[in-house]
Copies of this chain bind each other. A is one copy, B any other.
Amino acid sequence: MTQPRPAGQHTVRRHNSALVLGAIADSPGISRAGVAARTGLTKATVSSLVDRAIVAGLVVDGEPAHREGPGRRGTALTLSPAGPHGLGVEIGVDYIATCLVDLTGRVSRQRIRPADNRAQPANRVLVKVARAIRSVFSELPVVVGGIGVAVPGLVENSTGLLRTAPNLGWRDVDIPAELRDRAALADIPVLAGNEANFAALGEMWSGEHPELRDFIHVSAEIGIGAGIVMDGTLFEGVRGFGGEIGHLSVDAKGPQCSCGARGCLEAVAGQDAILAQSGVSDVPALVARLESGDRKALTAVRPVARYLGTALSNVVNLLDVPTIVLGGTYAALGPWLQEPLQEELTLRVVSAAWSPITILQSTLGTEAAIRGAATSAVRAIIADPDPFITATVPG
């Protein structure tokens, strides 16, 4: 966005449209004069851009918010819930999920289909994913302005390739290209990303913890991943492969992991390991047993807290992040993990004595990744609304 390029008439308007939509997104109910003050644009420019955005269906002009001085009343501008939506798609190990989010951030449709993707080749699963996307298109009369696809694997930032998804057994899949073909997406932008990264963003953007700026969000399902956010920005590593907390070594002599190494966190404290140890079939059943004080369940969760505490201590000793958000299965197990985790962190983190570490439980739980993927697509629309405006209001 801020790269130098020839600033022709159109480029300037494109940039200014983004400024205007950003101001309205940050301050719903703002007036045209307020937008001008925030962006530094003239009132005439703001009015012209807002009018175009209204005609294009991105902005709505609501009731007067309040009098602004003796002159004309200011009206309340908000992003339009009927404007283009962001579609989130999540390819889980045992489900496919879709989620539509409008420009205001509201979820207008969310659906999870169980699917055993673990033993399936990529092309068979992507046929089902494409079908799920097309069913969203056919069922709802909204424009989809962008798609975010969350995958349980390593996505290379320079190529967009899914390099590996150990729990799916996939390698080198160009998910955006595959879906563009199979779901006839034409020119809708598609961005694939690691589910743990989307989950961290989803949690931050949910607004439930407004102070979240520097944190690590650990999501456990069948795999374990982490999204690292520093100063409000996702840190994904030089090539996009960072945050692989599931493959931190926590027990040198532990069992073999799907990645080939021994004693990874995922192998000893992932959902499969927890359920196997506690002898139940799913997480809700485990939570029920824990709530009833079942000894076997409590015994199964204890080493999970210790292993997770070791891995998180490593993270804090390296990155000095003040906040940890437990997501996915760990959010559900939070009440039983919180205290032993805090003990392990206090023991192992060198700076713990001066720098308390806050442990939060995700408010979105297993929905964080799909919400983050959909909201990423919405944010991309707001960051560059011009294509949607010029499609409706040429010139």
Residues of A within 8 A of B (CB): 154, 156, 163-164, 166, 214, 226, 228, 230, 236-245, 247-252, 259-261, 310, 313-315, 317-322, 347-351, 353-355
Contacts and interface: CB of A to CB of B under 8 A. Distances in A.
A252 B242 CA distance: 24
A112 B249 CA distance: 38
A237 B235 CA distance: 12
A354 B157 CA distance: 13
B238 A321 contact: yes
A321 B237 CA distance: 7
Contact of A242 (B242, B247, B310, B318): B318
Counting from the closest, the 9 A-B pairs by CB-CB distance are A237-B320, A241-B351, A242-B320, A244-B317, A241-B320, A261-B348, A248-B314, A214-B238, A247-B317
B249 A310 contact: yes
A243 B318 CA distance: 4
A349 B257 CA distance: 12
A350 B310 contact: no
A241 B347 CA distance: 16
A145 to B, nearest CB: 30
Contacts of A353: 163-164
A164 B350 contact: yes
11 contacts: A164-B350, A214-B238, A237-B321, A238-B320, A242-B318, A243-B318, A244-B351, A245-B317, A247-B348, A259-B348, A259-B350
B322 A239 contact: yes
A264 to B, nearest CB: 8
A347 to B, nearest CB: 5
A244 B318 contact: yes
Given A236-B320, A238-B322, A314 B350 contact: no
A315 B248 CA distance: 9
Given A248-B314, A252-B250, A241 B355 contact: yes
A238 B356 CA distance: 12
A354 B317 CA distance: 27
Contact of A317 (B164, B248, B251, B347): B248
Given A156-B354, A240-B320, 19 more contacts: A163-B351, A163-B353, A164-B351, A226-B318, A228-B318, A230-B238, A239-B320, A239-B322, A241-B351, A242-B317, A242-B318, A245-B317, A247-B349, A247-B350, A251-B252, A252-B252, A261-B313, A261-B347, A314-B314
Contacts of A315: 318
A166 B350 contact: yes
Contacts of A320: 236-242
A329 B349 CA distance: 24
A228 B318 CA distance: 9
Contact of A354 (B163, B243, B250): B163
A343 to B, nearest CB: 12
Contacts of A245: 317-318
A350 B162 CA distance: 13
Contacts of A318: 226, 228, 242-245, 248, 314-315, 318-319
A44 to B, nearest CB: 27
Contacts of A350: 154, 164, 166, 241, 244, 247, 259
A350 B230 CA distance: 23
A317 B238 CA distance: 12
A261 B226 CA distance: 24
Contact of A249 (B164, B250, B319): B250
A315 B350 CA distance: 17
